[in-house]
Structure 1
């Protein structure tokens, strides 16, 4: 494994942007937070987004943590190994980043497929993490058939064909009206995702089912739902919290990308959980 430093600082602050070169692909990651003695917090993004989906969290959370964000394989500035992928592949990418950066333990926050990745890490690598937040996710998202149909649709028509439906699932009509620029930025990252990366992660979702494993998570866990999320409704997050011994659930206004739509409440809840 080899790390390539791109720039430091970036955007006029103390951020570090770099690549981790793995045997089959390259992961782009970014570190925010000036206090090198602060505890680590890893953010893991959703299907079809990049590190910038967490921009609303960085100013506040980086005052208390060293924040590590990365683009999932095939997303953003990370390269795409040939699909399909498994959930274990996505989880092991996180472990590879921790190992390369010599991070023994970290907090973790993931949304949607990022939340599934967090559940997998809690089941399989709990000793590397302190507190885990899983957002707008489920132990089993959709069905294998629905994800395989999504893969075929993207192969045939590309990601641009999914823009309208994605915007509707991810944000309420009110938010789309009030914050069109924010929504467009997220959709731009969606259509910029590689087809191999998107479909590889769809295959991971098709095969991921942690419903029988949740009770093995020993870490304190916060499950955050969007109260109007049609993808992973609050009942999915309540189930996760109920199955984890130290789990609890919180619902916030919004749909699937709740960290953006309810950013202030999300930041307050996440910070309180991680510092409790």
Structure 2
């Protein structure tokens, strides 16, 4: 296991293939998950690209630390990790809140961004009222009480089968997340709005939606793509909010096709 200390938070990460010759993809997880969600996609890409994975603070094996959590704090953590690894520029592939973290980096440190992959995300996600209700539910009942409604937004009925071990694993992963870190990131999403910044993105951008996504529906992702000059939009059929788990082959194919068309520098 590899960790990098940032203040009083130790960021858990994994880096492979950083040989200075291959383009680097920095993957950024969704709310309530850790970097294992990318395993099946990374398996398909790691021979061609350098890979950086990390658990954002308050998720997985990364403690929340004492600093206030915001999208900008998460973005600063990732940039510090890339500095630590000697990565000056990367493709940022963010899922859900991970996509907002990628948008923050594009807005504040565009020189670090070779391209963006914004999967199942939007410049603004949800409403202040919906996030306040979720935070209140966590404080009152704990994170396990939210597993069922979250799973309904994350995955299609075909994936939510009792005999699907991957679905069982996703449920357990969510239930075991740090409740304080989860709630703090809910508040960070509540306060984030990159709508204006989307129009200023000036790097190649791929926007991905899941046809059955209950958290960031296709129309929301499509509207984001329309704001980003020259972006590409892909909708994955038979897929919910976490395509790297539900449809990893299709998700990896969309990434591979987009990445193959990037300029070399």
TM-score greater than 0.5 by the shorter chain: yes
Offset at residue 248 of structure 1 (A): 1.3
1:266 lines up with 2:254 in the alignment = no
Report the aligned-residue RMSD.
1.5
Judged with a 3 Å threshold, the aligned counterparts in structure 2 of structure 1 residues 34 and 26 are, in CA distance, closer, same or farther, namely closer
- For residue 201 of structure 2, what is the aligned residue in structure 1? 217
Question: Which residue of 37, 41, 55 corresponds with 1:57?
Answer: 41
1:242 lines up with 2:226 in the alignment = yes
Query: Does 22-31 or 170-179 show the bigger shift?
Result: 170-179
- For residue 260 of structure 2, what is the aligned residue in structure 1? 275
**Alignment partners' CA distance in 1, 2:83 and 2:204:** 22
- For residue 9 of structure 1, what is the aligned residue in structure 2? none
TM-score (norm 2): 0.94
Judged with a 3 Å threshold, the aligned counterparts in structure 2 of structure 1 residues 26 and 171 are, in CA distance, closer, same or farther, namely same
Q: Secondary structure at the match of 1:174?
A: coil
- For residue 242 of structure 2, what is the aligned residue in structure 1? 257
TM-score (norm 1): 0.90
1:127 lines up with 2:107 in the alignment = no
1:81 lines up with 2:65 in the alignment = yes
Q: Is the 8 A contact 1:25 1:78 kept in 2?
A: yes
Question: Which residue of 118, 128, 134 corresponds with 1:144?
Answer: 128
- For residue 194 of structure 1, what is the aligned residue in structure 2? 178
**Alignment partners' CA distance in 1, 2:87 and 2:20:** 12
Offset at residue 184 of structure 1 (A): 1.4
Give the unaligned 5+ runs of structure 2: none
Q: Is the 8 A contact 2:97 2:189 kept in 1?
A: yes
Judged with a 3 Å threshold, the aligned counterparts in structure 2 of structure 1 residues 39 and 173 are, in CA distance, closer, same or farther, namely same
Give the unaligned 5+ runs of structure 1: 1-16
Structure 1 residue runs of 4 or more that deviate by more than 4 Å after TM superposition: none
**Alignment partners' CA distance in 1, 2:109 and 2:18:** 27
Post-superposition Cα deviations, 1:243-268, rounded to whole Å, max 9, x if no partner, equal 11131110002111122211111111
Q: Secondary structure at the match of 2:158?
A: helix
